């Protein structure tokens, strides 16, 4: 039998990668068996961090960036292996994005007034130890991104990560603490517990030394945090609609929407979850998606089977979240070639595969008679999350009207959704978009307290 050399090399690489992943870190820094101990350790580390100069803090941050780049592939593979969700290649890109575009200490800007009565400054200072709850959909991306912003602001952080992504989260935390120690900073700048549970989360939320909690996840966790009696940053669920009107470049819209929807198998909360297309271009859009963008059109009968597979009486079937289109179709007995990357169909807005936030590459298209109808349907589909929305249009009035009506933290025009994270668009990156509490795309300054510093009748030299 002739053995294909490339195939052998691929298999060897895969085995080596798996071996690397299963190797436990020599010592996982920042990991405790007890939440109170984790908070205590982070508190001691914060006492050191707050006395460090901005320059020293920035050295820690650049070390975290370097280690994130170096370990992007390991983290991506680890997350896919542990959670069963997502796409390794796309997760690698997400880690590089976090490393390159998450703001550091430069995000801390001082506001100043000077005049006859002296000089007044608003300085941004740390809260102390922040509690952070992170999702399984972007586990290490969120841990790394949160840590960069929180530490750059002079805080330390205690995580209660999603239990299904604990190994990946611990691997990321170890890198963060190594980065700090190597840059002359303290250990335990980012901590967690070996076994995060709702109980450890409760301890964290009630702890006297946690003044601020940042929750990234679905509606349950955001509500829990906002009921904690502490200040909370709530980065909750979305169900972003992509509106396409008759002025759009329809071919490009098909490409952008499918690219955004299929990125990391639709796990990002900002990703296109459904389309609302005006009647004049709806058929053309669907045609481009099927003919040019690797979309598979499912029949009514296949839709029904998919509904039963994907949605259970208790909610989303977690075995379907973050799976690729071919795997999802395989689950309902449909075999498709490897180039199929998205499942499409047309339906009413109330269709369960359209109205629910699925986090799978399934794109239902809702037909609208005109832009006003499209906006009304899109607003309904966003469910008041005020999270993300997208539009493909060249009509400024239509775009403006949509932006005002849907009122989301993110609105991407004429690009894939990931442009909102600075990937193919301007601006910085975050994996915590505070939709519910209104901070929007979080960054270093989000994790600071505002302090007014007044010097009366002096230091004005104008």
Residues found near ligand NAD in the complex (CB under 6 A)? 133-138, 161-162, 198, 201, 216-218, 220-221, 224, 235-238, 269, 357, 431-433, 435
Q: Which two tokens stand for residue 165?
A: 């992504």
At residue 296, φ and ψ (nearest 5 deg) are -110, 120
Residue closest to ligand NAD when measured from CB atoms: 217
The two most distant CA atoms of the chain are separated, in Å, by 90
Dist. CA 403–CA 421, nearest whole Å: 18
The encoded tokens of residue 458 equal 């002096």
C-alpha dist (Å) from residue 339 to 106, 326, 385, 451: 43, 9, 33, 55
Of 260, 266, 233, whose CA–CA distance to 432 is shortest? Answer: 233
Q: Which is nearer to ligand NAD, 291 or 312 (CB)?
A: 312
- Collapsing DSSP to helix, strand or coil, 351 comes out as coil
Q: Tokens 């309904």: give the residue.
A: 380
Q: Which residues of 285-321 are buried (b: 16+ CB within 10 A; e: fewer)?
A: bbebbeeebbbbebeeebbebbeeebbeeeebbeebb
Backbone dihedral angles phi then psi of residue 311, each to the nearest 5 degrees: -115, 125
Report CA-CA distances (Å) from 417 to 267, 378, 381, 420.
12, 15, 17, 6
Closest CA to 367 of 346, 381, 388: 346
Give the residue from 450, 444, 430 showing the smallest Cα distance to 108: 444
Which of 129/433 has CB closer to ligand NAD? 433
Query: Smallest gap, in angstroms, from Cβ of residue 163 to ligand NAD?
Result: 6
d(CA 418, CA 342): 17
Looking at beta carbons only, is 138 or 398 nearer to ligand NAD?
Answer: 138
The CB-of-456 to ligand NAD minimum distance in angstroms stands at 42
Name the residue nearer to ligand NAD (CB basis): 126 or 196. Answer: 196
Cβ nearer to ligand NAD, comparing 68 with 398: 68
Question: Smallest gap, in angstroms, from Cβ of residue 212 to ligand NAD?
Answer: 16
Select 205 or 329, whichever has its Cβ closest to ligand NAD: 205
Taking a C-beta distance cutoff of 8 angstroms, is the pair 385, 435 a contact? yes
């Amino acid at each position: 039998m002739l053995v294909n050399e490339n195939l052998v090399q691929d298999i060897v690489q895969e085995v080596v990668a798996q071996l690397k992943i299963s190797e436990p870190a020599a010592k996982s820094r920042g990991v405790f068996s007890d939440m109170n101990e984790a908070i205590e350790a982070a508190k001691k580390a914060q006492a050191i961090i707050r006395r460090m100069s901005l320059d020293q803090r920035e050295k820690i941050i650049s070390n975290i960036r370097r280690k994130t780049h170096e370990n992007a592939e390991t983290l991506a593979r680890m997350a896919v292996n542990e959670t069963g969700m997502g796409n390794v290649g796309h997760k690698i890109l997400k880690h590089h994005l976090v490393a390159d575009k998450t703001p550091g200490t430069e995000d801390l800007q001082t506001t100043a007034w000077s005049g006859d009565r002296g000089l007044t400054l608003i300085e941004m200072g740390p809260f102390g130890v922040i509690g952070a709850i992170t999702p399984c959909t972007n586990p290490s991306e969120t841990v790394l991104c949160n840590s960069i912003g929180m530490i750059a602001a002079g805080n330390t952080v205690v995580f209660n990560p999603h239990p299904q992504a604990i190994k990946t989260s611990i691997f990321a935390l170890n890198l963060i603490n190594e980065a700090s120690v190597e840059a002359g900073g303290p250990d335990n700048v980012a901590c967690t517990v070996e076994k995060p549970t709702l109980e450890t989360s409760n301890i964290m939320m009630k702890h006297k030394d946690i003044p601020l909690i940042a929750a990234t996840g679905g509606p349950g966790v955001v509500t829990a945090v906002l009921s904690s009696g502490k200040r909370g940053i709530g980065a909750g669920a979305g169900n972003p609609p992509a509106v396409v009107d008759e002025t759009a470049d329809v071919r490009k819209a098909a490409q952008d929407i499918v690219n955004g929807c299929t990125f990391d198998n639709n796990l990002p909360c900002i990703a296109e979850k459904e389309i609302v297309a005006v009647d004049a271009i709806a058929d053309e859009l669907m045609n481009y998606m099927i003919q040019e963008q690797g979309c598979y059109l499912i029949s009514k009968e296949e839709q029904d089977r998919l509904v039963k597979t994907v949605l259970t009486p208790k909610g989303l079937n977690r075995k379907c979240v973050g799976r690729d289109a071919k795997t999802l179709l395989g689950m309902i007995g449909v075999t498709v070639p490897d180039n199929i990357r998205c499942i499409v169909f047309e339906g009413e807005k109330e269709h369960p595969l359209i109205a629910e936030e699925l986090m799978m590459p399934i794109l239902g298209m809702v037909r609208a008679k005109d832009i006003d109808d499209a906006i009304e349907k899109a607003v309904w589909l966003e469910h008041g999350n005020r999270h993300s929305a997208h539009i493909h249009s060249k009509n400024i009035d239509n775009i403006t009207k949509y932006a005002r009506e849907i009122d989301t933290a993110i609105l991407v025009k004429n690009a894939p959704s990931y442009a909102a994270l600075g990937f193919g668009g301007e601006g910085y990156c975050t994996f915590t978009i505070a939709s519910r509490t209104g901070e929007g795309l979080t960054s270093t300054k989000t994790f600071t307290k505002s302090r007014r510093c007044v010097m009366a009748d002096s230091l004005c030299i104008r």
